[in-house]
A and B are shown apart, each in its own frame.
Chain A
């Protein structure tokens, strides 16, 4: 009897452990995935063109079908004329391809190029909600013939069924799911295919490529600064960017090493991890919080013990600078240049983008360009924002 009891409890305990382990590994997202993805050169987008031989010549607006980022084959009889963009990076791409007159709806976060906001205030383009919160009714009421969403954004994917039900074509490009320049290029080329502006796309890709090469060839090869990216103030939680993210790829390309590269997605770190990797550069996304308060807070956390803080290389990025860094779009070259100047200010000079701030200790003024937040001494309450 006792033996049976023990056996039974053992069995139940083992089963629950197994179940628990299962749930755990499920939540952990699989244990044995490769940690670092540096460059993936395969493009997954396949073009299939079904053009009958004769019509190719006489009809430029032939029926084409394009495979989107979800692997669906979508057919276009003619280039769409009323387009809704669900992500800022998509809007940037459409503008860069010269397709602004086709756009009827953008998100409230679409702020680049500045023309977008002019067109919105003129009433030519309507805001269809936020990037994370697109409004189905507003989209439908615009009667678009194409909605372009990001395959990396769950709220966009959730719109698929309802938009299709309303008879509106929805096409997904990688957009925020892009993790390197090849993804961005393939996004641009796919869009160009739909709108039949392939030549403009090749020009755009070439331009970005030239921009990037210009930066890349000057990047010092002998030192590789260790970089920590923090999404938001440390008080919010130490969320960083894993190795399979766009920003991590940018850091690697700009000649740095992302200390959180062994993780995937947006991992939460702890101070022990950060301190033991002792980053040379810290980039904090300020998320609109007051820079002086944020700098003071950072000075009071263990981040102040890092080499980055001690040598005055903690950077706050906000608004425009933050947008450039997190949007895989036509401003790729600019993003790389900005990161390169954050990582190697001696070679590239201080960042030129006005919303990059450097936190620095000591009262000695910084002579290079850019804005600096000076902490007169660590721990004191007087901080000032100095724009030079």
Chain B
């Protein structure tokens, strides 16, 4: 490549990945050894290492493993979706929810609940419905975006329109619903891994694997690198701009939709994950930043999940939503990187 910006640096990449992997493994161990039950951490570790394992510990460890896996996957998925959305829109402020997926998912779920309250009791069904809603949102956003010219810019604007419309609609629906349930239901789709079950995990792994596979098979990272210099430039280099935009948006929607359906809306990761990886790596080569963002997002999500559980242990409140915690943990680090990057 002829451009300075996307010069690769293999050593740095491997070092950074190694660092992130170590960090994630350490966090995972911490995450597996603490939780809301009073099991001493070393007992949990013993059980994990297979030294000695009693039935209640094994059971509890099972939940912790599920939560840990879910948070790692969600962090990774949202961060990758963030890279894609920021890439196609060339806007550093874009996050995966800008495509309007979460609000259509919420609206669809509320409509479904209005039709049959029993859906509330069926986790698998509500996950499927939310996923369907996210997909509808993608179709809507893309069709408006394509009608408006199919550029990244038009996609963002149509995403904003769709999300504004549907968050309005879903709030109206929730207003009606809250009256029917006799409880204030502001918590629908609030991000938390506390209710994730083992059988929900495939809803995360399958989209994550498929998307990563599709990304690299379709050579989207390279195309996004060309995007950095504008869509004209990319088409001059022989990339099919519209197609790449739509495919990337689709992959981003799939990733976001799946994580919203299973865990709920978790903010900040999709925005900050890509920035953290770019700043640490030094350039915006998407072939690298996608991987690094995934790792950074996972680390962020898993630490947020740990903090959420610690708060339950030491306060009189129950668990807090993940999105609140991700920003509290991630923002200082991001600020540090911004200062460091600005000085260079």
Contacts and interface: CB of A to CB of B under 8 A. Distances in A.
A is bound by B = yes
A157 to B, nearest CB: 13
Interface stretch (B97-105, B217-225, B233-241, B325-333): B325-333
B175 A235 contact: no
B335 A235 contact: no
Contact of A235 (B38, B121, B314, B316): B121
A264 to B, nearest CB: 5
Contact of B59 (A27, A264, A305): A305
B63 A288 contact: no
Interface residues of A, number: 63
Contacts of B179: 108, 130-133
Given A9-B340, A287-B120, A272 B197 contact: no
A237 B117 contact: no
Given A132-B179, A288-B180, A235 B63 contact: no
Contacts of A131: 179, 182
Nearest to A33: B316
Contacts of A21: 328
Contact of B328 (A24, A242, A275, A286): A24
B319 A268 contact: yes
B16 interface: no
Given A275-B56, A288-B117, A270 B332 contact: no
Contact of B317 (A29, A231, A287): A29
Nearest to A107: B179
Contact of A302 (B126, B178, B197, B331): B197
B336 A28 contact: no
Contacts of B53: none
Interface stretch (B78-86, B131-139, B187-195): B187-195
Contacts of A264: 316-317
A266 B331 CA distance: 28
B272 to A, nearest CB: 13
Contact of B316 (A5, A236, A242, A276): A242
A31 B314 contact: yes
Interface of A: 5, 8-9, 12-13, 16-17, 20-21, 23-24, 27-29, 31, 33, 35, 108-109, 130-133, 231-240, 242-243, 260, 262-273, 275-277, 286-290, 293-294, 297, 301-302, 305, 326
Closest 8 CB pairs of A and B: A267-B318, A276-B37, A235-B123, A233-B121, A273-B36, A270-B194, A130-B179, A20-B328
Given A28-B315, A235-B120, A275-B37, 16 more contacts: A5-B339, A16-B335, A29-B315, A133-B178, A235-B195, A236-B121, A240-B318, A263-B317, A267-B317, A269-B318, A272-B36, A276-B39, A287-B183, A290-B118, A294-B118, A301-B123
